[in-house]
Chain A
Amino acid sequence: MQWEIVIGLEVHVQLATQTKIFSGASTAFGAEPNTQACAIDLGLPGTLPVFNSEALRKAVQFGLAIEAEIGKRSVFDRKNYFYPDLPKGYQVTQMDFPIVGQGQLEITLEDGSSKVIGVTRAHLEEDAGKSLHEDFEGMSGIDLNRAGTPLLEIVSEPDIRNAKEAVAYLKKIHAIITYLGISDGNMAEGSMRCDVNISVRPKGQAEFGTRCEIKNVNSFKFVEKAIHCEVQRQIDIIEDGGKIVQETRLYDPDKDETRSMRSKEVANDYRYFPEPDLLPVEIDDAYVQAIREQLPELPDAKIERFISQYQLSKYDATQLAASRLLADYFEQVVSACGQAKLAANWVLVELLGQLNRSSTELSDNPISAEQLGQLIQRIQDGTISGRQAKQVFEAMYQGEGSPDAIIEAKGLKQVSDTGALEAMIDEIMSKNPAQVADYRGGKDKLFGFFVGQVMKASKGQANPAVVNDLLKAKLQG
C-alpha cells in the first residue's frame, strides 16, 4: 500500500523580551533556579498579571511577516490543568481570539521547487517552568524561572507531507523570527520548540488518519528523525491490522524512537474561559501600520534580491538567506572581494562545511568576512590557486592570521614569474630529450608529463595557467 503522510506543526517561539509576558521579572537565560520567578510568576495569592507591550509588538511583527490577519481584538483565556511546573494551575493563552490569524509562508525544497504552507494562527501565551528530575531524596525539583516567559505559538495547517518539508518550514520560521529579531531562535536553549502532529493515510484517501502528537522536539535534525520513526511506527501498526491511538508521545533521540507520555494519559478537560484578570487587547490600524513600516527586509525579499543583484541560483540564495546573520556575513564578504558567486561558494561550501564539522555556530565563526573576502581576492588575482586557498582557509580557521600573513608564512605564493619558470622548463626539457622528441612527434599526451615536472620542480607553487602557456610555446620549438 502507498501511504501519504500528513504533518502539522505547532512551533513555540520564546519572544526576546526583557521581562515576562505578565510580570516585570527578567527572562534572561541560565540564571540560578527561581531567581527570576517573582510573586506573579509563582501565582502567589493576590497577585495580578499586566500585559507586556513588547510581547504584543513582537507578535504583530510576526503576523505581518507572514501576511496574516492581525487580531484587532485579541482575548486571553485560561487553560486549566494541574502540573507542578504550572504555578497557577492554569496557563494564560489565547483560544478563540488570537493575536495573529490565518497566514502563510513559502518553503523552498532542495530541488529548488517551492510550496506554500498555511499558518492557521499564532497566539500569545505564557511558558511553564521546568521539572528537574534528578533525585532530591525521591523528589523532583521545580524551577519556575521560565514560567511566564512570552511564547508565540505558531500553528500550521496540516499541509506538510514529509520530513524534509517539515524541516524546511521550521527553517523558514526560524529565518523569519531571527530576521525580525523577535526571538534568538536558539533551539538548544529552548527558544524555539516544536510539537509535531503526524498521521498517515492510504494515498488517495480524503479523510485524515488518527494523529499522534510528538511533544517538544528541539532540533531540526530530531524533527526529521522523529517524523521518520513515528511514520514507520504508525504504518507498521496499521499494516499489522492495528489501530492508531490518538495520544501524546515523546521522541527519544538516544533510542531513536517515540514513546507514549505517561503524564498525558488521562484525557484532559482544559476548561478554557476568558481570563478575568486581563482585558481584551485592542489595537488600531495606526499601531499596525507603524510596525509594518519598520519591518526589516524579510527572507523572501532577500532571496529575490540575491538572485537579481548577485546572479545567484535560487537554491544558493535561499541557503544564504536562511539566517539573517549568514546573509549579512555573505554580503560583507561580497563587499570585501567583489566576487558574489565565489563568495557564495566559499560561504556555503567551505565555511558552513567547516563550521558543521567542528559543530560551531555561525555566531562563533572565527573567520571575519573581511578576511574571507581577502582570501577570495588572492585567488582572483592569481596569488594563490584554489587548492592553495583551501590550505590557507584551514589555517585561517585555526586562527593563524590573515590570508596574506598565512600565504607569506607558508610560502604559498604561486610562481608566475616567466623568467624563473622558463629556466625551470629549459632545464626539464634538456634532462628529458626523448620525451621532447616524442611530444614533437605527435604524442600530445606527454604535455601532462611536462606540467607535472614543472609543478614538482616548483614545489607546487607554479601558476598552472602561466606554466601551460610557456610549455606550449617552448615544446612547439
Chain B
Amino acid sequence: MIHFEDVSVTYDGAAEPTVSHVDFEVPEGELVLLAGPSGVGKSTVLGAVGGLVPHFTGGTLSGRVTVAGRDTRTHKPRELADVVGTVGQDPLSHFVTDTVEDELAYGMESLGLAPDVMRRRVEETLDLLGLAALRSRPIATLSGGQQQRVAIGSVLTPHPDVLVLDEPTSALDPAAAEEVLAVLQRLVHDLGTTVLMAEHRLERVIQYADQVVLLPAPGAAPVLGAPADVMAVSPVYPPVVGLGRLADWSPLPLTIRDARRRAAPLRERLSTREIPDHTPPSAAQLPAPPALRPAPARWWRRNSQTTSPTTPTPTPYAAEVRSLAVRRGGVQALRHVGLTVSPGETVALMGRNGAGKSTLLSALVGLVEPSAGSVRAGDAVPHRTAPRDLVRRVGLVPQEPRDLLYADTVAAECVAADRDADAPSGTCRALLTELLPGVTDDTHPRDLSEGQRLTLALSVVLTAHPPLLLLDEPTRGLDYAAKSRLTGILRGLAAEGHAIVLATHDVELAAELAHRVVLLAEGEVIADGPAADVVVTSPSYAPQVAKILSPLKWLTVTQVREALT
C-alpha cells in the first residue's frame, strides 16, 4: 500500500539528509509502528506519505514514495486526500471548522462527495468513534481524547486507504489513549485500513503493531520486522520489553498477558527479595530563601490583607494546600483539595485530562486565585507575592517549556534568568552545563530538541533555587533516553532537598520518580499515598512492571535489576 524506495530527504539549509535510504513497504491492512529516538526523522517519513514532505515543507526528496499506486512526486497533498488521511501531533491545529459534525464533513466537502453519501458517512463515523453524543458540540469544548478522536474521524470520512498518525496518544491520559487505540484497532481489523503511526510511548502501542519500522539513529537505514524481533535490538523499548530482556525471555513478550505467563519463576525469585527503598531520604535542608518584600500595592484590589502575605509561623512543608477550591471560567476546577509536600519529597499528580492537575500547579505558583481555602508555598502565599520574590520559593516548568523562553540564544536566556532571579551571573549557565553538556551559547532555543528545551527551561527555573519545583507534563515528546536523563536530574534535585510536584500522564515516569502519587478526578483528590500502594491497584495507572509482577509491588525495571544483581 505504501512503498518507500530508497528515500532520502534533505531540508533546505541542512548539511545532511534528515532521513536517508529509507526503503520499506507497508502491506495493505496492517498497523505499522514507526519507532526510534527523537530527532531521527519519524515525522519526516510520516509527512512524505501524505506528500506534505516535500510539497509543503520544502527540501529535496530523492527516491520515490508511492501510496496506493500514486507517486507523491506528481501528486500534491490535496490530490492524495482521498487515499491518505494525516493527523499531526497537535489535533487543535488540524481543525478547520468549529463543530464536530462540520469537522467530520469538511474533508468530504472538499472532495465533492454527494450530500447523501456525506450524511451517511458522518453518521457511520460518529458511531464508529463513539462521538454521537458530541455531534453538535463546539470542538473547543472537548477534552483531549475527544479531540483526538474527532481529528481521526475527520480524516476517516473520505474513506482513505491509509491513515498516518503522528504521536496520537502522547498528550492523552491512559484511559483516553486506550480509547483512541481501540478505535485504530477496529479500523485495521474491521475496515482493512492501513495505519502508519509514530509514537514515543511504546508501552501503549507496541502490542497493536503488526510490524515495526525502527529508525535507530539519524541518517541510519531503517530496520523493518516483527515487533518482537525489532524490540530485541531497538534502542527504545517499553518496560515490558526491558523486563523481558533482563530475564532473557525469548521470544520477547510484548503484552502484559504474554509476560505474565512467563513471569511465574521471576515472581518467585523476587518474592523473597526486598524492594529497593524509595522513601524520601532525610533531605538536606536548602538555604532559606530571602525575606519577602511586600507585594506591590494594587489599589483597585479590595482585599486589604494584601499587606501581610507572610504568616509568622514557619511551616515544615514546602507546599501546603488546605481545602482549596478554584473556579475557572464558570467551571469548578478544584474543590476541597488538600495536599502537603515535604522537602525532598517527589509527588506525582495523576488523573484524566481536565481533572484539575494543571490548575493545582497554577494555584501553587499564584497564577490562579483560590476561591476558597488556602495555598502556601513555603512561607509565601503565592497569589499575593510579588513575582520576583516568588521565583525564589516556587518554580514551575509549564507544559510547553517554550513559553518560558524569550531570548534568541541560549546565552542570552541564561543571562536574563540570572537577572530575573538576582543570582550571581553565570549561575544559570553553570546549571545548564551540568544538566545538559554540549549546548553551545549561540544556539536558538527553538532549534533545541524537546528534551533539551525542557532542560533549558528547568535550568532557568532552578537558577532562583526554589525549594519547591513543579513540572507540568514534563515527558510529552521525550524519548526514553531523554526521559531517563530527566529522571536522573530530578532524583538528584530531590536528594538535595527540593520538593518536586509533577503532573503527568506517564505512569512509568511516576513509577520511577514519585514517592507519593495523588490521583485527581473532577477537581477532587481521590487517592493520596505511597506510589506503590496507589498505582498497583489501579488498572489505568499501574506501570507495566507492576502489572506483570502483581501482587508483588515492584514498579520499575530498574528496581528489579537492582534486586537481581
A binds B: no
Interface residues of A (CB under 8 A from B): none
